[in-house]
Amino acid sequence: MTARTLSVGLDARVALAYPVWPAVYIPGIHGHGGVDHGVDDGEESPVSVRNALLALLEQGPRYGYQLRAEFEDRTGGTWPLNVGQVYTTLSRLERDGLVEGQGADADGHVVYVVTASGREEVAAWFGSPVPRTRPPREELAIKLALAVSVPGVEVGAVIQQQRSATMAALQDYTRLKRRAAGDDPHELAWGLVLDSLVFNAEAEIRWLDHCEARLRRAAHDRGASSVDRAGQAGQAEQVDPQEATR
């Protein structure tokens, strides 16, 4: 059982996790302006990656490839790192006095160790909440805000299309969950990351359900008070823009 779970391993996780990305917006994955922007451009590492690498180094000296492998193992390859980004992050950490390079080992890998202030940084990270600097899922919220206030958009169709896509992503995550049921710390870590994706997708669907219910009620109230209801009772698509934004 354990062997089979392990043999599925990272590749299968990544292969299964990747195709669903476009279906659902997760802050930090898409770089749509979430807190974790800059993952792909190597410009500035997100705080989460920087602190995760520091926390791994606190377990003992490691070099870049090891850090990348361990990060992805714990997060199931959900947020892949490239090695260049790992080394950029390490040199910034070194500049800031949080890690020290120990010179190359026999194979030419530069091994890093955490400093005392690096340990303090890790402790401070675990000891404080992640700031909620921006509301998540903003592209979708903006799209819906525009959909209800711009004439001629079928809001009901916009909602259903998103719900269907997010549900498909949720089904994929759940399929992954069915395999990753192990109890060792790394399986558990990956399982919790998956749960986070599951709860995010669920929250989005609940919010979409809520939007739909509110729009239907608005349409219904309008229909009931209107002389010309044009046979649109219960249709969310025909909400008056002014009405819906109130």
Interface positions with another protein (CB under 8 A): 160, 163-168, 170-171, 173-174, 178, 198-199, 201-202, 205-206, 209, 212-213, 234
Min separation Cβ 132 and another protein, Å? 22
> Which two three-digit tokens encode residue 155?
């809001």
- Residue among 123 and 213 whose Cβ is closer to another protein: 213
Min separation Cβ 236 and another protein, Å? 9
Q: Residue for token digits 């229909």?
A: 223
CB 30 within 8 A of CB 21: yes
Min separation Cβ 171 and another protein, Å? 5
- CA 187 vs. chain centroid, Å, equals 19
Determine the Cα–Cα distance for residues 241 and 212; give it in Å rounded to an integer: 15
* Sign of the dihedral defined by the CA atoms of residues 46, 48, 49, 50, in that order: positive
- Residue among 101 and 182 whose Cβ is closer to another protein: 182
- Residue among 37 and 220 whose Cβ is closer to another protein: 220
- Residue among 178 and 246 whose Cβ is closer to another protein: 178
Min separation Cβ 102 and another protein, Å? 44
Determine the Cα–Cα distance for residues 183 and 1; give it in Å rounded to an integer: 12
- Residue among 140 and 201 whose Cβ is closer to another protein: 201
For the chain, counts of helices (H) and of strands (E): 9, 3
> Which two three-digit tokens encode residue 179?
């395999």
* Sign of the dihedral defined by the CA atoms of residues 192, 194, 200, 203, in that order: negative
Count of Cβ atoms closer than 10 Å to residue 200 Cβ: 20
What are the CA-CA distances from residue 194 to residues 6, 91, 161 (Å)?
A: 16, 31, 23
- Residue among 150 and 213 whose Cβ is closer to another protein: 213
Min separation Cβ 160 and another protein, Å? 5
Min separation Cβ 233 and another protein, Å? 10
Determine the Cα–Cα distance for residues 73 and 187; give it in Å rounded to an integer: 9
- Residue among 104 and 213 whose Cβ is closer to another protein: 213
CB 62 within 8 A of CB 70: yes
- CA 158 vs. chain centroid, Å, equals 22
Min separation Cβ 168 and another protein, Å? 5
